[in-house]
């Protein structure tokens, strides 16, 4: 009887041990008891199962990404079904800005200002600047537009000198990280071609009513009085530039002067210097404008206003808010 009890107890103990092992993943072969778990009888088969499990987990991760993409697409489609509640105009101004650009840009901006369906404007600027008078006239038109509806500037390429001058008339400036901004300053270039004319035997005869009527002409060098006169004009234009940046960016004059040596910066740097508001893309600028204008799902229309910036189309002005790179690469 005692031996029967011992045998029953042994059977029970083995049963408990096997049950615990199945739950706790203990390998019974280590204690000399063969085990069968899911039909696996060798370590090689266990490795195969582990590999399959890893593959399933990887597939699950991929499926999760696909699911996330589908969810995003669903959200996008849902947003498309939201009734259009206004319009946003994206106006691209690019190239060197001169007097021939003033009229078409003015006409388009005033048309958008009067259009009650347009809730705001993204001013897409890609310009190294241009003539002082042309830039200041266009700046006044951007300010006029901004008095009626929100304007967000976007810079994906270059907004230097006069291009940046225009950007500060907007509510906010969104820039790509690799964009080029800055070049706060004024430039005047005088070409003294007197030696060139002598070399080719060209004689220039000038009849004028006053001593300074041909100020800056290439057929004569600048006098000391000429230089002082030009410096005064440049300083006046420079003071105006500092003022509009200070006003538009809500910075002190002293702060603006720190960045007014004519240098340019990347979009990321411009944001750190408070010369721009945020790094982003054109879509970022549109989203920013949607929030400012209170538009949830507006229709977006695109306009482009500019000439090709070629010399033949330029009515060149001597006094310029224009970025002039010091290094140029020419093909031989």
Q: Which residues are known catalytic residues?
A: 161, 213
Measured CA to CA, the distance from residue 155 to residue 131 in angstroms comes to 20
Q: Are 129 and 96 in contact (CB under 8 A)?
A: yes
- DSSP codes joined into one string, 293-306: HT-SS-EEEEEEE-
Would strands 151-160 and 180-182 be described as parallel, antiparallel, or unpaired?
parallel
Beta bridge partners of 124: 92, 154
Write out the two tokens for 104. 């078409």
Residues in contact with 63: Cβ distance below 8 Å, sequence separation at least 6, in sequence order = none
Q: How far apart are CA 169 and CA 247, in angstroms?
A: 9
Please enumerate in sequence order all residues whose Cβ is within 8 A of that of 309, keeping only pairs 6 or more positions apart, or say none. 94, 95, 96
Per-residue tokens: 300: 């977006």
Written as six digits, the tokens of 266 are 């990347």
Give the H or E element holding residue 53: helix 43-80
Q: Are 184 and 164 in contact (CB under 8 A)?
A: yes
Tokens read off for 123: 């001013």
State the chain's maximal CA–CA distance in angstroms: 142
């Amino acid at each position: 009887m005692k031996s029967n009890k011992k045998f029953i107890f042994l059977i029970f103990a083995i049963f408990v041990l096997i049950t615990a092992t199945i739950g706790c993943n203990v390998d019974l072969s280590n204690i000399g008891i063969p085990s069968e778990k899911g039909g696996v009888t060798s370590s090689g088969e266990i490795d195969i199962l582990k590999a399959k499990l890893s593959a399933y987990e990887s597939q699950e991760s991929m499926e999760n990404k696909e699911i996330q993409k589908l969810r995003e697409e669903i959200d996008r489609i849902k947003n498309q079904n939201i009734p259009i509640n206004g319009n946003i105009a994206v106006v691209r101004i690019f190239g060197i800005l001169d007097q021939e650009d003033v009229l078409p840009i003015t006409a388009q901006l005033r048309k958008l200002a009067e259009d009650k369906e347009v809730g705001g404007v993204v001013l897409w600027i890609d310009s190294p600047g241009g003539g002082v008078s042309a830039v200041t006239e266009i700046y006044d038109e951007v300010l006029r537009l901004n008095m009626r509806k929100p304007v967000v500037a976007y810079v994906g390429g270059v907004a230097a000198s006069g291009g940046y001058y225009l950007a500060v008339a907007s509510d906010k400036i969104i820039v790509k990280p690799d964009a080029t901004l800055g070049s706060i300053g004024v430039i005047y270039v005088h070409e003294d071609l007197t030696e060139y004319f002598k070399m080719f035997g060209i004689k220039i005869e000038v009849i004028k009513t006053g001593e300074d009527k041909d100020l800056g002409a290439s057929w004569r060098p600048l006098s000391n009085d000429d230089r002082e006169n030009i410096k005064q004009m440049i300083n006046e234009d420079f003071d105006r530039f500092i003022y509009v940046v200070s006003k538009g960016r809500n910075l002190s004059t002293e702060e603006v002067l720190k960045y007014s040596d004519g240098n340019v910066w990347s979009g990321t740097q411009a944001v750190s210097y408070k010369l721009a508001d945020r790094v982003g893309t054109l879509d970022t600028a549109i989203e920013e404008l949607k929030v400012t204008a209170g538009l949830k799902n507006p229709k977006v229309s695109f306009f482009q206003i500019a000439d090709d910036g070629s010399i033949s189309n330029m009515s060149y002005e001597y006094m310029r808010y224009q970025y002039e790179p010091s290094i140029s690469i020419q093909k031989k």
